[in-house]
Structure 1
């Protein structure tokens, strides 16, 4: 072991060691072959190199000779369950593991770990320090650092919820879940390179760390344009430094080096492998994809019911109403203020009869209040976090003195689940987990200890929200075993997507925060969390008519669509800014509802493959150098390209259309891709394009809510491509709320569109056993971008009517053939 310099650059976290002297592991003493790879002995420790798949390898370093086999709750499968064919090669000074997808080279002296693909392209390569010595792994006390090579031209993506541009190159980031807008948390922050220091400006656009920490990123190698991935299964505070031009590093302040390295070479392959380890977003209840109205406001029962009635009277589709902290009795979780809500079950029943679900906030903080049953029970049964001395840890949150459940204990998660189960029995549809970083007010969280007081706060801080969501989801399933769950969480860690959606926390009613949410959502999506969204209109500060409308138009085309604002601000309801804005905002909501069959299919794809609903262009077009820096537009699902309006008074904007052909959703114009276009942005709409070859399923009308809505007709919008080829889409019809679809109670129609010259063919195949609520009698096939001459369905000629054909179809496939005119 040698003393060497890691040479880290950028702005260091204030709690990271302020020295750059680390103990560098420099020599491998021996290497043994194992069933999954090799075991290396070096400096009294052991490095397990284990093949997970042909294209994924796990690196695992011991501490004091021992391995931590369960470093976090992120990985939910056995990584070593599938067999992998590999060979071990020994040469002077190196040992190699070789599979069909990667070649790992272990350097013995000096110690280094490099991974390449069989063609020689790099996946990871050890970086050298200023003296030219490799620094693959270095440690100082409980912290460790790993350094890798990169090129100035390379790009980095991921790390979940991070502010600033999509490409992380040139910046550094801290992973430590933080209540972002809490001024007392200022000492916890470090600014990314090029950002204003948020310790001086709490309203800065680009600040770090954030609510959610996901230690997973992509390395986009140039000039080959191939992707590699890294996931460090470690929940301690971490620092990722992408500021040096020819190297990058990551430092964790505790725990062990357990890293999964993904050879790719595509972002899609890496994301599929990563979500195969950490889990995928579950199929959501359909109502959760509708429009949500929320406000931190001191409502009473009559005001909530009046709010619901106003939505129905004004024709604003809405599926969910939310209640923030003021519904509780003195901020005591799992209670209702009986003066303001004298008949909460009755209110919830009446709202449900009108198609509204209701969701209430639940914080992890339990009021320290003798006589309060939740506190008394938690204290009696040992469910609260302790200090090192054995006392119950006390923070200062909304209720005042506050205790926090120790969610690392399985019995505590079960207890919390039972509390949630009892709470929703009143008629609630879901749970909103807030303040779960955990936010502890003016009190430092570090004395809070876990596992009955045996484990440090640092080990579980970033996992706290994940563990809370585990218990909450289990409770909802206990209360409603036949219903899909819905939980919204502010904080999270790798794997949070298995249990909860995330919103992006307390944003501001500002144009730059509207933009901020686009790359932030993209970072979430490619980090495994598909169900995300920002507070539409902005949470803090007063919105205005134009900003609100533009945010509604954008928010309607994001995975989670919730209008939310803080107390004391101007009203931010759909009708708050006058008749003109109300009409246009309502049209945005109605478009959302008509698109719900398409949106639902995108969520099912996320559940099955890990592909996000809101995705950066680089996911689908990683070979196109132009898209790597685009973070003001995105794909919504596989085929809709959305370019939001990002400034006041904007009447047009540049939009980049990637390879292929694209249909302007508003005008019908068909454009060839791989070029920039100037898109008009009248107040009626934002730029929206549909990929040529797509078949977009839509409802023929926008219902008031999804509750009980099983339409008689479904539209299939066929966007004819300019080029020849074949494209596949699908639509799934099921009851939208239960788990019956996974047992076959569904109709899934796969739609294959093929163009060859002037001939277009749409083939539909259907699987599934149907479901009792199915009402559809017709399919309306609508052609876009071309006019048809001869048309036949299942071999029988039909007459076109404005390029719309009505097929009397209730669950069987068809073949539509058309000859295009012109």
Structure 2
């Protein structure tokens, strides 16, 4: 049962602003609006030169260049010297843009660049830059920039800083990767943009004003809005201050712009969207295979099993310990026969005492080595992922020992890279193949995932790359790299923090994220309190882009049957739901690849105009249909949830309610409060034990009436890269609320193995009809479909 909570709109408006902003007098706002630089000299425009793609301005100190990339993307660079120093690009891969219509007007007080969507105003008196929408509304101000000479790791360079005045702005900020402070809205916060275990730094933030800033710098950087009315962006090492202004105003367009710069995420094999079984760690071939076989014996859906670390004799040399893994090719063959895929852990560290270590050391492939033995031995080396030859060598090790025997996916651990006993990243105090490591301190995960992605793509086009990395940087999405949230604790506090962490990571432009369900350290499956936590975490994980259990357990058991029969029943139900939703999830994956979509979505992504959503970081949309409300308190039987403006259906009962409103949703241990937005069309496939066990036929097509709706159903060969050559098919569904008509459009495209004929079991969802996990026994219409357009009415 869902209890509706009445709350006057003025209450939450007042609460939101009182939480974020102290009262500011009108006089102070007026004065702040006229304040100029006080501690830094003004930097007026001295001259300007129009270029084919933008304008370069000579300032009293340095030069400013604005490049019109598109009608919604402007690149801004400031250099303390002229000409602009050329530098290699590793993150941004788009260097040519179609011609965009734009105009420049030069007046006594300002230079104005205009596209169809933006106006950019450069003040002559101080060189400040203001971005406006086409109506003249101010979006973002670059009030001051500075480049301060400094020496970092022996290199003469600059510290770069941008100041943006925020007086009078009530905008909210999101993104910057994944961080563990439990914060969703970064207004009034400061974030270090540097890599650590559980903290993944992406230099992109989005504003509720409808824009994003991609800060194009790979050194340690900082987003500082601790004082609400001032935003500072800074970097430790820079030749040029460089950023892209990305306009939406919708967040999907902003993210699409980021991916246009840094690359699109490719499709994973369909199996990757199923269930991943993992723990710390399987110790023998016999144990690993035994678990896989038991999953099939118990008919628990699963597609993937993971071999964590120490399957080797020596870290870095990919040779199985034959005493524990006597027949690796046979092990992989057995898993494949049982329809399991195998992911295996591989690290960027190489311990001494092997021929591999000696060969890499002789060729200068190490950035640094440990000095004292502890968990790792002395002289263990970190490989130089910035060296193209070292990257090739690294992939060749994996290819020869693992890929060639059929290993399907790669778990790249400690890709920050891990430092353990010191705060400073190893790169900051060392040299790499590219030079000063501090200049590229955040970029290691991009480079090492590039090694594996490019290596596998060159080896085969029959198996899609899948990488699970503990860290990432801008651009890693193009390398088929997903991440997990790192080694988080097994408790309710850290579980709750994973929700805003995952939402901010997703809104940073990298779409594939997951966690160690149950936490990494440490849980006891025999403890009733921990079982409750694991169930709630699994419910949340069912609606993550990837569904994966992992962690250290006191019983050394982490399979779905390890938590007792009552828990197993609940876990199995959500696992089954995940598999029934694969047509929906796989279609979302195609939207992510082809349309710049994001599967796991903070409410602000779809309800940006609703100020209530600005600071809600514990609810989210999973695709266009599902509003997910994780239960993060022990012993809870209800869950308070905010429903934005729309008609919402309870997934479990089919009853509906109009938003905006707050409700107390029923949340017994077996139920995750789950709502579906009116206008949604959800394709659900048959129950199955692995992703490709049977065709997605029949499709139960659940229609949630109350608003117009569309959904594109996508299919391909489920693996391989023929989809990049056009080997796929789509079927467009459209619900017309006014005419109460569902249109199933003509199928577009084809691929080998495509079902020529199929059934759609159409269900118009209502109270106790078309609800929950099990297929509706009495569909409203059954449509035989052979690729031609057809219409359906209730």
TM-score (norm. length: structure 1): 0.85
| Aligned CA distance change for structure 1 residues 763 and 772 (closer, same or farther; 3 Å) | closer
- The corresponding residue for 1:672 is 658
| Aligned CA distance change for structure 1 residues 408 and 68 (closer, same or farther; 3 Å) | farther
| Aligned CA distance change for structure 1 residues 373 and 815 (closer, same or farther; 3 Å) | farther
- The corresponding residue for 1:39 is 56
Alpha-carbon separation, structure 1, partners of 2:42 and 2:221: 20
Could you tell me which of 701, 708, 716 is aligned with 1:716?
A: 701
| Aligned CA distance change for structure 1 residues 459 and 781 (closer, same or farther; 3 Å) | same
Alpha-carbon separation, structure 2, partners of 1:215 and 1:412: 26
Unaligned runs of 5+ residues in structure 1 are: 1-19, 128-134, 181-209, 221-225, 387-391, 789-799
| Aligned CA distance change for structure 1 residues 413 and 25 (closer, same or farther; 3 Å) | farther
Question: How far did 1:93 drift?
Answer: 3.3
Asked whether the 8 Å contact 2:757–2:786 carries over to 1, the reply is: yes
Confirm whether residue 817 of structure 1 aligns to residue 790 of structure 2. Answer: no
Alpha-carbon separation, structure 1, partners of 2:296 and 2:587: 27
Deviation readout 1:747-806 (Å, 9 max, x if unpaired): 31110111116x333333311124226486322112213899xxxxxxxxxxx9834322
- For the residue of structure 2 that corresponds to 1:147, the secondary structure is strand
Could you tell me which of 203, 215, 224 is aligned with 2:203?
A: 215
Asked whether the 8 Å contact 1:355–1:706 carries over to 2, the reply is: no
Asked whether the 8 Å contact 1:751–1:765 carries over to 2, the reply is: no
Alpha-carbon separation, structure 1, partners of 2:553 and 2:522: 10
Confirm whether residue 174 of structure 1 aligns to residue 192 of structure 2. Answer: yes
- The corresponding residue for 1:492 is 472
Asked whether the 8 Å contact 1:72–1:233 carries over to 2, the reply is: no
- The corresponding residue for 1:538 is 519
| Aligned CA distance change for structure 1 residues 415 and 66 (closer, same or farther; 3 Å) | farther
- The corresponding residue for 2:781 is 805
| Aligned CA distance change for structure 1 residues 24 and 434 (closer, same or farther; 3 Å) | farther
| Aligned CA distance change for structure 1 residues 394 and 286 (closer, same or farther; 3 Å) | farther
Question: Bigger shift: 670-679 or 526-535?
Answer: 670-679
Could you tell me which of 225, 234, 237 is aligned with 2:220?
A: 237
Alpha-carbon separation, structure 2, partners of 1:24 and 1:320: 60
Asked whether the 8 Å contact 1:526–1:611 carries over to 2, the reply is: no
Alpha-carbon separation, structure 2, partners of 1:609 and 1:535: 29
- The corresponding residue for 1:192 is none
Asked whether the 8 Å contact 2:315–2:347 carries over to 1, the reply is: no
- The corresponding residue for 1:190 is none
Question: How far did 1:570 drift?
Answer: 5.8
- The corresponding residue for 2:154 is none
- For the residue of structure 2 that corresponds to 1:662, the secondary structure is strand
- The corresponding residue for 2:647 is 661
Asked whether the 8 Å contact 1:537–1:563 carries over to 2, the reply is: yes
Confirm whether residue 310 of structure 1 aligns to residue 286 of structure 2. Answer: no
- For the residue of structure 2 that corresponds to 1:125, the secondary structure is strand
Question: How far did 1:333 drift?
Answer: 4.1
Asked whether the 8 Å contact 1:466–1:493 carries over to 2, the reply is: yes
Alpha-carbon separation, structure 1, partners of 2:380 and 2:590: 39
- For the residue of structure 2 that corresponds to 1:756, the secondary structure is coil
Alpha-carbon separation, structure 1, partners of 2:286 and 2:791: 54
- The corresponding residue for 1:779 is 760
Matches within 5 A, 1:718-737: 718-721=703-706, 723=707, 726-737=708-719
Question: How far did 1:715 drift?
Answer: 1.6
- The corresponding residue for 1:706 is 691
Deviation readout 1:69-98 (Å, 9 max, x if unpaired): 4465221212x4211212221112322212
Asked whether the 8 Å contact 1:170–1:243 carries over to 2, the reply is: yes
Alpha-carbon separation, structure 2, partners of 1:707 and 1:619: 32
Alpha-carbon separation, structure 2, partners of 1:368 and 1:64: 46
TM-score (norm. length: structure 2): 0.88
- The corresponding residue for 2:237 is 254
Asked whether the 8 Å contact 1:394–1:404 carries over to 2, the reply is: no
Alpha-carbon separation, structure 1, partners of 2:330 and 2:64: 61
Alpha-carbon separation, structure 2, partners of 1:52 and 1:351: 49
| Aligned CA distance change for structure 1 residues 765 and 37 (closer, same or farther; 3 Å) | same
| Aligned CA distance change for structure 1 residues 677 and 359 (closer, same or farther; 3 Å) | same
Could you tell me which of 102, 109, 112 is aligned with 1:86?
A: 102
Asked whether the 8 Å contact 1:691–1:719 carries over to 2, the reply is: yes
Deviation readout 1:306-354 (Å, 9 max, x if unpaired): 1112212222211111111121213234221111101011011101100
| Aligned CA distance change for structure 1 residues 152 and 91 (closer, same or farther; 3 Å) | closer
Asked whether the 8 Å contact 1:44–1:65 carries over to 2, the reply is: no
Alpha-carbon separation, structure 1, partners of 2:142 and 2:723: 48
Confirm whether residue 402 of structure 1 aligns to residue 411 of structure 2. Answer: no
| Aligned CA distance change for structure 1 residues 673 and 579 (closer, same or farther; 3 Å) | same
- The corresponding residue for 2:454 is 474
Could you tell me which of 313, 335, 340 is aligned with 1:329?
A: 313
- The corresponding residue for 2:721 is 739
Question: How far did 1:401 drift?
Answer: 2.5
- The corresponding residue for 1:608 is 594
- The corresponding residue for 1:50 is 67
Alpha-carbon separation, structure 1, partners of 2:125 and 2:456: 55
Unaligned runs of 5+ residues in structure 2 are: 1-36, 151-157, 525-529, 770-775
Alpha-carbon separation, structure 2, partners of 1:801 and 1:711: 17
- The corresponding residue for 2:613 is 627
- The corresponding residue for 1:154 is 171
Question: How far did 1:153 drift?
Answer: 2.5
Deviation readout 1:709-741 (Å, 9 max, x if unpaired): 3244222111122x4xx3110111222112223
Alpha-carbon separation, structure 2, partners of 1:24 and 1:494: 34
- The corresponding residue for 2:367 is 385
- The corresponding residue for 2:148 is 139
Asked whether the 8 Å contact 1:143–1:253 carries over to 2, the reply is: yes
- The corresponding residue for 2:486 is 505
Alpha-carbon separation, structure 2, partners of 1:765 and 1:167: 43
Deviation readout 1:171-192 (Å, 9 max, x if unpaired): 1010111135xxxxxxxxxxxx
- The corresponding residue for 2:22 is none
Alpha-carbon separation, structure 2, partners of 1:30 and 1:336: 66
- The corresponding residue for 1:556 is 542
Question: How far did 1:415 drift?
Answer: 2.2
- For the residue of structure 2 that corresponds to 1:32, the secondary structure is strand
Q: How many residues align?
A: 732
Alpha-carbon separation, structure 1, partners of 2:271 and 2:749: 22
- The corresponding residue for 2:332 is 348
Question: Bigger shift: 68-77 or 426-435?
Answer: 68-77
Asked whether the 8 Å contact 1:28–1:109 carries over to 2, the reply is: yes
- For the residue of structure 2 that corresponds to 1:160, the secondary structure is strand
Asked whether the 8 Å contact 1:770–1:811 carries over to 2, the reply is: no
- The corresponding residue for 1:4 is none
| Aligned CA distance change for structure 1 residues 447 and 611 (closer, same or farther; 3 Å) | closer
Asked whether the 8 Å contact 2:461–2:721 carries over to 1, the reply is: no
- For the residue of structure 1 that corresponds to 2:569, the secondary structure is helix
Confirm whether residue 483 of structure 1 aligns to residue 459 of structure 2. Answer: no
Confirm whether residue 268 of structure 1 aligns to residue 277 of structure 2. Answer: no
- For the residue of structure 2 that corresponds to 1:730, the secondary structure is strand
| Aligned CA distance change for structure 1 residues 649 and 248 (closer, same or farther; 3 Å) | same
Deviation readout 1:450-492 (Å, 9 max, x if unpaired): 453x611111220001000001112222333222110111111
Question: How far did 1:639 drift?
Answer: 0.8
Question: How far did 1:64 drift?
Answer: 4.1
Question: How far did 1:568 drift?
Answer: 4.8
Question: How far did 1:663 drift?
Answer: 1.2
Asked whether the 8 Å contact 1:329–1:335 carries over to 2, the reply is: yes
